[in-house]
């Protein structure tokens, strides 16, 4: 079978790579092509566009880069027609992927959407499009199955693939240079968010002289970029070892996104940080209809980890929260208890294999119907 996958950011690349690995177990002749990153490439995918060239954050940034986005859409459509996949697997990245799903539907190419767009948070109008152009929805959050089923979609819950991604990857001690307790700083994987958030995260370093700090870097951004934002602050940047860094950390400062869930599943006390452009933030405030921005809090439906958003993210609030995370035993204990409950809600390990089986069964059924 020929599979075309589209992942537009680092987390999508990770989950797509694990999915590909599982698909190959049942379909050893499978051919993979698509958009993603290094992890998908390592699993044998021909990556025609890297996600580092796709990350446009916020409403204003999208408008400013509209020409590039339209060129990317045109290129993707042309590449799909040339490749002629048996199935397209779209991973999150809804602004782009839903447009591609409409094109795929027109071309009668089966569409599986893996890792749902967060339409339950905003843009519920997208449900009509999804119902029309997506043939199979595979969700990874427990409340999403009921949400989509209520809107008439064919949906299956596979569990969260982060539990697979974390299995066996957090136990090797790779950072012997840290003799003191460690605070991990996760500023995100997009340059725009790193510029906004990393300087604020680093502002508390001098307030904790008994702690070591380390920035978790990703290859797609590059160490030089982190250094340019840090402006000479003497904190190590540890490239491509985020899970190991979190495993050793006593606490973490984490930019909102998938990393907040990764941190919780590893079991590191955290504070969630977010700061965007003022225009984008004001628009988002009016459109987004959920109580929390962190996946941890959304899944648990309560405030498990503190969220410091926009103007609330400053040196004082960050310092105060980090003091609690490091020194208040009861505060840490309650957070750890909630983390345990969170793991149970996400379905346990094996999500990637379950998603692969769902996709394989779907493709076989479509083949038999022809």
| pLDDT, mean of residues 208-234 | 92
Q: How confident is the model at residue 279 (pLDDT cuts 50, 70, 90)?
A: low
Question: Per residue in 86-135, pLDDT tens?
Answer: 999 999 988 899 999 999 999 999 999 999 887 765 566 788 899 999 99
Domain range annotation of the chain: 2-166+349-369, 182-345
Strands 2-7 and 31-36: what pairing? parallel
**259 and 188 Cβ atoms separated by less than 8 Å:** yes
Q: How confident is the model at residue 168 (pLDDT cuts 50, 70, 90)?
A: low
Q: What is the CATH code of the structural domain delimited by 2-166+349-369?
A: 3.40.50.2000
Q: What is the CATH code of the structural domain delimited by 182-345?
A: 3.40.50.2000
Rounded CA-CA distance 4/35 in Å is 8
User: What local confidence, expressed as pLDDT, does residue 135 receive?
Assistant: 94
Distant-in-sequence, close-in-space partners of 8: CB < 8 Å, separation ≥ 6: 35, 51, 54, 55, 91, 92, 93, 96, 97
Instruction: For residue 274, count other CB atoms closer than 10 A to its CB.
Output: 23
Question: Per residue in 238-247, pLDDT tens?
Answer: 998 898 899 8
Per the model's pLDDT, the better-predicted residue between 150 and 178 turns out to be 150
Rounded CA-CA distance 137/148 in Å is 8
Q: Tell whether the model's pLDDT for residue 280 goes beyond 60.
A: no
**130 and 98 Cβ atoms separated by less than 8 Å:** yes
Range scoring the smallest mean pLDDT among 32-41, 74-83, 101-110, 115-124: 115-124
User: What local confidence, expressed as pLDDT, does residue 224 receive?
Assistant: 94
Instruction: For residue 174, count other CB atoms closer than 10 A to its CB.
Output: 12
Per the model's pLDDT, the better-predicted residue between 169 and 321 turns out to be 321
Fold match flag (2-166+349-369 vs 182-345)? yes
What is the DSSP secondary-structure string of 250-289? SEEEEESSHHHHHHHHHT--EEEEE---HHHHHHHHHH--
| pLDDT, mean of residues 158-171 | 78
Q: Tell whether the model's pLDDT for residue 52 goes beyond 70.
A: yes
Q: How confident is the model at residue 287 (pLDDT cuts 50, 70, 90)?
A: very low
Nearest-CA neighbor of 193 among 1, 61, 30?
Answer: 61
Q: How confident is the model at residue 310 (pLDDT cuts 50, 70, 90)?
A: confident
Q: Of the spans 40-44, 117-121, 147-151, 272-276, which averages the highest pLDDT?
A: 40-44
| 3-class secondary-structure state, position 227 | helix
Q: Tell whether the model's pLDDT for residue 58 goes beyond 60.
A: no
User: What local confidence, expressed as pLDDT, does residue 277 receive?
Assistant: 59
Q: Tell whether the model's pLDDT for residue 283 goes beyond 50.
A: no
User: What local confidence, expressed as pLDDT, does residue 122 receive?
Assistant: 58
């Amino acid at each position: 079978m020929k599979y075309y996958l589209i992942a537009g950011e680092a987390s999508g690349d990770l989950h797509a790579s694990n999915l590909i690995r599982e698909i190959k177990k049942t379909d050893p002749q499978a051919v993979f092509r698509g958009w993603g990153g290094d992890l998908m490439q390592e699993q044998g995918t021909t990556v025609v566009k890297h996600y580092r060239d796709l990350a446009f954050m916020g409403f204003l940034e999208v408008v400013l880069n509209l020409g590039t986005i339209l060129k990317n859409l045109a290129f993707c459509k042309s590449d799909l027609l040339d490749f002629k996949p048996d199935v397209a697997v779209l991973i999150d990245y809804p602004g782009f992927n839903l447009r591609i799903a409409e094109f795929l539907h027109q071309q009668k190419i089966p569409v599986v959407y893996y890792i749902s767009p967060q339409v339950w948070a905003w843009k519920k109008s997208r449900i009509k499009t999804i119902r029309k152009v997506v043939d199979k929805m595979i969700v990874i959050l427990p409340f999403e199955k009921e949400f989509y089923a209520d809107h008439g979609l064919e949906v299956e819950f596979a569990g969260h693939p982060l539990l697979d991604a974390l299995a066996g990857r957090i136990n090797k001690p790779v950072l012997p240079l840290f003799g003191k307790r460690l605070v991990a700083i996760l500023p995100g994987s997009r340059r725009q968010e790193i510029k906004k958030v990393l300087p604020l995260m680093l502002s508390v370093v001098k307030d904790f002289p008994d702690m070591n700090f380390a920035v978790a870097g990703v290859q797609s951004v590059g160490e030089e970029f982190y250094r340019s934002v840090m402006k000479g602050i003497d904190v190590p940047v540890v490239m491509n070892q985020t899970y190991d860094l979190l495993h050793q950390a006593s606490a973490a400062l984490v930019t909102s996104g998938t990393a907040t869930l990764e941190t919780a599943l590893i079991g590191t006390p955290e504070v969630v940080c977010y700061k965007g452009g003022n225009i984008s933030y004001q628009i988002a405030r009016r459109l987004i209809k959920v109580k929390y921005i962190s996946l941890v809090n959304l899944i648990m439906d309560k405030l498990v980890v503190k969220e410091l958003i926009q103007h609330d993210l400053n040196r004082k609030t960050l310092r105060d929260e980090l003091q609690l995370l490091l020194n208040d035993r009861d505060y840490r204990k309650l957070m750890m208890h909630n983390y345990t409950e969170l793991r149970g809600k996400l379905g346990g390990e094996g999500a990637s294999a379950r998603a692969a089986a769902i996709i394989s069964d779907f493709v076989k059924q479509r083949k038999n119907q022809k």
